Amino acid sequence: MFPVTTVKWRKAYRIVPSRYPPIDLFERVAADPAKWEMLAEIEMITNPRVRDEIGEISLVPADERISGPGAAWVMAPFTHLNPRGSRFSDGSYGVYYAADRLATTVQETIYHMGLIYADSRDQSHDEDMRVLVGPINGGFRDLTKDREAAATYLDPNLYGQSQELGQQVRDAGGDGIFYPSVRNFGHPCVAAFRPKVVGIPVQDRHLKYHWNGREISRVFDYSADRWIAADDFR
Can you give the pLDDT at residue 45?
Answer: 47
Can you give the pLDDT at residue 80?
Answer: 87
Distance CA 153, CA 76 (A): 25
The secondary structure of residue 199, as a DSSP letter, is P
Range of the domain at 31: 4-232
Distance CA 191, CA 197 (A): 11
Mean pLDDT in each 10-residue stretch from start to end of the chain (234 residues)? 96 92 58 57 51 70 84 89 93 97 97 94 96 98 93 94 97 97 94 96 96 97 97 91
Which residues have a Cβ under 8 Å from the Cβ of 95 and sit 6 or more positions away?
A: 77, 78, 86, 88, 89, 166, 176, 191, 192, 193
Q: Assess contact for 3 and 142: CB atoms under 8 A.
A: yes
> What pLDDT, in 10s, does the model give residues 40-76?
555 544 455 555 556 677 888 888 988 778 888 998 8
Q: Assess contact for 137 and 155: CB atoms under 8 A.
A: no
Can you give the pLDDT at residue 35?
Answer: 56
Number of domains comprising the chain: 1
Can you give the pLDDT at residue 85?
Answer: 94
Can you give the pLDDT at residue 19?
Answer: 83
